[in-house]
Structure 1
């Protein structure tokens, strides 16, 4: 028989062990209790087009004709999985691109483009886009149900301003082949002095857009959108971006169909994993959208797009932008843009660079999987959602995609959990009064919480590309009134049998 002293010691050890286990369980399995509130009579702050989530391919990918084969079958399958969408062919090299229907152009391209000879700004090399490559790009778009958004070269100039002769060649060639295209003119014009040592004022650019609009109207593209001016993101220490946008709209708003700008969070050369998962980084987009919208509110009748956007500028941060490390920023960007009625978001880039959605071997990377899942589950009507939780959980709600479920009351909630703790959410509000909620749950996570992985898990199983239409299988939750997220995860939940009236 144990002595009293030994019995007390044994009980104390037993009690300490059980207390430690209880603390561990609470910390990693219960997590902070959060409350999601959606009411049955919620208003719809925005209704998005089906091509809201769109993609970009940098013009550098067509600089050398053998860089990217648009006719590759697997490449086409991966792109078609994101349809309907737009694909923007743009970027810095757009303003060095010369079109030639001939395979052997008669003149060197330097004959057309005039940039600075300043030794501090060595001139970038212009290049030709041939008729055969242009045909391949457009046939790719038709085959994959992607609408092309093409950026004309605005640095082709003469004493009268923009020289539109080469643009006219593209229009005539495209109209003859019945290509359906929307258009832009110039890429990040407020940065031309930094990139090319050339300055085009917003007033002059507005005049160039007016010239292009007339050219489109008289050459078979009257119904095409003209999107611009594609300035960089607003920043306090660089007020020229906002100034350029406002002055351009003041002179050229009647010529454009869409107000457009570009957004990145971080510098690819210096960005860290901690910055990628820091809530302060996420908040930058909200501040930038609100700044851009407040300064251009006089033009709210013109839709706003993010025509080029990713985690970090300068091609993406290696090992971060094209891994799971960048996925929460992408999901949050989709949610914020939708909430603020930005009606198209172009992910830079679908292919190429360190921020691509597929790699050079045409293998899907994490953000491709997440984008396909988003397209499958998330509908066009945006819902108001109130989430009482920490800054490390960010959450959004839409009516569910009607192609996913025939239930007219179904909603889709999606969220990111930036903590190494489980997060649990109680479904609150009049939308969830039914005792018969039926939930399809899709949890994206990283193996062993390795946030720099290129292989992600769906409900605990690794995702592997086997067909053009992935078969995502959900977890089914019946009669529950809460949802939860593991550490460092992304979640999508399609909740059926709600009382939300505006989804009907």
Structure 2
């Protein structure tokens, strides 16, 4: 949101990103179909138009911003997920005031922007930290707010879904201070106006964070315990959902390698890509229907970094493109038998005609990997160093494969192979036809 409204992000005033930049649109278009989330901490501090700003609402979105957003969505083919202000600046005696956010919905209607999802507030369980103890709302109050928001939204967009509470879960600590302010689990235990339960999870915190339960380091990103914690948090949310009193979709509404803006020279390097593929795989196995990556641009965890004359994809962008093109929504079982730390994931392809798998080697050592005899194609993906920005696909830099952006994967034949060598700190993608119609 700060990049759209010109607000503050991690102690710095941020310039507005140009949504009409054709270079930005080019890189984003490759990721479709997808959602773009306009959210984050600034969502609960933004004013809509010429409303009187309080010391809570410190930045602004106007009709011109919505017009640019409409053009961006048309050019990229993305669906919109937009976080509405639920902070103290739009409350009277603790109650959320729909009329304060209504100008935004009018502009969206006028510019033919129909959000797929509105989200009510960002990390509402942390208002005490962001705005002060007296501004923390209860989850009981939040439930009342969801009904008000739903009524307003459906007046303008009858098919748009409502998500929340976008609460933060920390590694090892889960929801900090939930014993005092309550847990978002309550939203599975009583009716509300929500369609989607969103939660936020970063497996580590950058050195920007004043408090850290797991500090982002290269060693952490390569540790089995790091991924066991990711799996444990996701499975906990899955158990909550399975015992829900109302049907709610479950989305990981914000995630990245390191909280608080990412860690410099770590979360924008190849070592982060090993994590990113494993993170997507583990979350998909745990039933997360959508994962929202923080961020597209901005911070040290961005998929795209600004350079003179445009944008440069970071390593996580390239492996994200591969995941998008190869891994559909149907999750299959996968395992690997090895002494080294390897993780494997298998999905039906998006067209359901193939089965694609990926094996990630988190050790420094070369591994001889036994592969199924039905494997027809393979793709090695690596880098020259864990701290490099360069991604190498089958021996060539990723940015030399222009056709990759159109879905043309530079596969190598695997016919007749029963074993492949997997270099340390690398991954291999495997492709086979779905001859047994598992995916259909």
Q: TM-score, normalised by structure 2?
A: 0.88
| 1:138 to partner: Cα distance | 2.3
Q: Does 1:326 align with 2:272?
A: yes
- Work out which structure has the larger RCO, using CA pairs closer than 8 Å and 6 or more positions apart in sequence: 1
After TM superposition, list the pairs within 5 Å mapping 1:371-410 onto structure 2: 371-390=320-339, 392-402=341-351, 408=353, 410=354
Deviation string, structure 1 residues 132-184 (Cα, Å, up to 9, x no partner): 11211122012101111000111210136001112211112212322120201
CA contact (8 A) 1:234 1:288 kept: no
| 1:239 to partner: Cα distance | 5.2
After TM superposition, list the pairs within 5 Å mapping 1:272-311 onto structure 2: 272-299=217-244, 301-311=247-257
| 1:392 to partner: Cα distance | 1.1
SS in 2 for 1:424: strand
Give 1:263's aligned residue.
Answer: 201
Matching residue within 140, 145, 148 for 1:208: 145
Give 1:244's aligned residue.
Answer: 183
CA contact (8 A) 1:234 1:292 kept: no
Output the aligned Cα RMSD. Answer: 2.2
| 1:208 to partner: Cα distance | 0.5
Cα distance change, pair 175–282 in 1 and its aligned pair in 2 (3 A): same
CA contact (8 A) 2:46 2:61 kept: yes
Distance in 1 separating the partners of 2:145 and 2:83: 13
Distance in 2 separating the partners of 1:335 and 1:470: 20
Distance in 1 separating the partners of 2:170 and 2:196: 18
Give 2:167's aligned residue.
Answer: 231
Matching residue within 176, 179, 186 for 2:110: 176
CA contact (8 A) 2:4 2:65 kept: no
Distance in 1 separating the partners of 2:80 and 2:99: 21
Cα distance change, pair 77–136 in 1 and its aligned pair in 2 (3 A): same
Cα distance change, pair 234–353 in 1 and its aligned pair in 2 (3 A): closer
Larger radius of gyration: 1
Cα distance change, pair 357–235 in 1 and its aligned pair in 2 (3 A): closer
Matching residue within 176, 184, 188 for 2:123: 188
Number of aligned residue pairs = 413
After TM superposition, list the pairs within 5 Å mapping 1:362-377 onto structure 2: 362-377=311-326
Give 2:211's aligned residue.
Answer: none
Give 2:154's aligned residue.
Answer: 217
Give 1:453's aligned residue.
Answer: 388
| 1:401 to partner: Cα distance | 3.0
Cα distance change, pair 328–236 in 1 and its aligned pair in 2 (3 A): closer
Give 1:346's aligned residue.
Answer: 292
SS in 1 for 2:313: coil
SS in 2 for 1:77: helix
After TM superposition, list the pairs within 5 Å mapping 1:29-178 onto structure 2: 58-63=1-6, 66-100=15-49, 105=50, 108-110=52-54, 115=56, 126-155=58-87, 156-159=90-93, 161-178=95-112
After TM superposition, list the pairs within 5 Å mapping 1:475-490 onto structure 2: 475-490=412-427
Cα distance change, pair 236–313 in 1 and its aligned pair in 2 (3 A): closer
Please, which moves more after superposition, 163-172 or 79-88? 163-172
CA contact (8 A) 1:351 1:358 kept: yes
Cα distance change, pair 191–217 in 1 and its aligned pair in 2 (3 A): same
Distance in 2 separating the partners of 1:414 and 1:438: 12
Residue ranges of structure 1 left out of the alignment (5+ in a row): 1-57, 116-124
Give 1:419's aligned residue.
Answer: 363
CA contact (8 A) 1:324 1:446 kept: yes
Distance in 1 separating the partners of 2:3 and 2:292: 17
